[in-house]
């Protein structure tokens, strides 16, 4: 009888302990989610506060003036805007040459960005090339980074030696320019998700159906980890409502495939893979890291592109964008976590300054690599490019700011 009593007491005590442990685990889980949600709400508030801040400036913790808080000023009298002429840039591409493809209204070229309490430094291409002498600057990401790369090359074009072979070379996923006199390489590594995916092959990335190896980045990273400056971006490719995530190798019978929605969660997983790899492998004393915030693209209430026939920036508080504020919060959370671990990433907050420039997208004034249907031709909004930017234009401002960071690094 005594043994049975002890046996009952032991089992009861054991079950009670298990129950307490379970309750503690659940409490911790929900506490984590609550804190996580609080973080996202806070980021959303900060993002909105930044939008409403038109008269005050904020500075970074390093004391650097906040270049990203300011306003657009129309300047058609200055000889410095636009900084270069579209037709004079040796590196210009048909995706961004809006004037060449029929755009008559060129006011978009004359808006300059004015930070609230400071000025963006004058661009000195000679000083920049000296800073890049013997070094490598690589943009890593999607077509937004290609847009920025072309802008960057157009900015330095007039400062390059006459002997320079002003051509871009495609080698695997790396699209680059090399100047022999300065021994500098400036290029784009195509990797739209940063992690590995079935959209990585440059010539076949338009294939339908997105599959992403959410925890694999090594095959990409080994091509850019020796760079002195790395500029990352990834966002728009994550906007697909459904995506297949893969654990394991493509085509492997042992691989695990899972088709999911949950944009924010899968975006966080990919950025965590990217951050973990950098923490373990990047040379922190050599390589300077940058991450571009979202370049906004615009859609109307009917889901169609809404930059067609726009000739003025937005000054009315109108918001026609497809920017997920929760995903912005994820980027900031990951970068803050990296900094706590000793990996410094400069977060280039170009979203807010770019949102107003609905007038500066190519719209229909570009080369379309896939022939338009007769039905599309009658509905310009159905095929207008409201994602990329005409050049000269908005990405030049991003690069002027990047220039200041590089010069002072």
Rounded to whole angstroms, the Cα distance separating 249 from 187 reads: 28
Q: Which of 47, 220, 361, 388 is catalytic?
A: 388
Q: Which residues are registered as beta bridge partners of 71?
A: 114
In the Cβ-directed half-sphere of 391, how many Cα atoms lie within 13 Å? 30
Backbone angles phi, psi at 265, to 5 degrees: -65, -45
Catalytic residue check, 59: no
Rounded to whole angstroms, the Cα distance separating 326 from 70 reads: 23
Q: Which of 143, 151, 363, 384 is catalytic?
A: 143
Backbone angles phi, psi at 339, to 5 degrees: -65, -40
Catalytic residue check, 249: no
CA angle 263, 269, 272 (to 5 degrees): 135
Catalytic residue check, 143: yes
CA 200 centroid distance within chain: 16
Q: Which of 306, 356, 385, 396 is catalytic?
A: 385
> What pairing do the DSSP bridges indicate for beta strands 256-260 and 243-247?
antiparallel
Query: Taking a C-beta distance cutoff of 8 angstroms, is the pair 225, 282 a contact?
Result: yes
- Known catalytic residues are 143, 385, 388
């Amino acid at each position: 009888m005594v043994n049975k009593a002890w046996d009952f007491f032991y089992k009861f005590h054991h079950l009670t302990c298990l129950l307490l442990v379970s309750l503690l685990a659940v409490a911790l889980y929900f506490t984590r989610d609550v804190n996580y949600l609080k973080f996202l709400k806070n980021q959303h508030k900060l993002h909105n506060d930044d939008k409403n801040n038109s008269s005050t400036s904020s500075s970074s913790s390093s004391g650097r003036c906040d270049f990203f808080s300011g306003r657009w000023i129309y300047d058609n009298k200055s000889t410095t805007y636009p900084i270069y002429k579209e037709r004079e840039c040796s590196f210009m591409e048909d995706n961004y040459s809006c004037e060449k493809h029929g755009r008559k209204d060129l006011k978009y070229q004359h808006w300059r960005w004015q930070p609230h309490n400071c000025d963006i430094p004058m661009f000195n291409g000679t000083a920049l090339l000296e800073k890049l002498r013997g070094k490598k600057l690589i943009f890593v990401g999607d077509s937004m980074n290609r847009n920025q790369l072309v802008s960057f090359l157009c900015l330095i074009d007039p400062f390059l030696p006459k002997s320079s072979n002003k051509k871009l070379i495609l080698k695997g996923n790396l699209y680059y320019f090399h100047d022999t006199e300065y021994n500098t390489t400036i290029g784009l590594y195509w990797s739209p998700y940063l992690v590995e995916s079935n959209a990585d092959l440059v010539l076949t990335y338009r294939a339908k159906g997105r599959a992403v190896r959410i925890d694999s980045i090594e095959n990409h990273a080994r091509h850019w980890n020796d760079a002195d400056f790395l500029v990352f971006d990834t966002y728009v490719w994550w906007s697909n409502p459904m995506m297949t995530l893969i654990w394991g190798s493509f085509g492997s019978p042992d691989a695990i495939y899972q088709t999911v929605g949950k944009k924010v969660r899968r975006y966080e997983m990919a950025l965590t893979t990217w951050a973990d790899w950098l923490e373990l492998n990047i040379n922190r004393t050599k390589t300077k890291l940058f991450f571009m915030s979202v370049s906004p693209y615009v859609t109307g209430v009917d889901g169609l592109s809404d930059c067609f026939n726009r000739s003025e920036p937005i000054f009315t508080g109108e918001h026609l964008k497809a920017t997920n504020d929760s995903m912005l919060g994820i980027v900031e959370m990951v970068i803050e976590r990296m900094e706590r671990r000793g990996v410094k990433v400069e977060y280039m907050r170009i979203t807010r300054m770019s949102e107003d420039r609905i007038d500066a997208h190519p719209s229909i004034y570009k080369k379309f690599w896939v022939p338009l249907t007769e039905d599309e031709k009658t509905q310009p909004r159905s095929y207008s490019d409201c994602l990329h930017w005409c050049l000269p234009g908005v990405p030049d401002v991003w690069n002027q700011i990047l220039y200041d960071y590089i010069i002072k690094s």
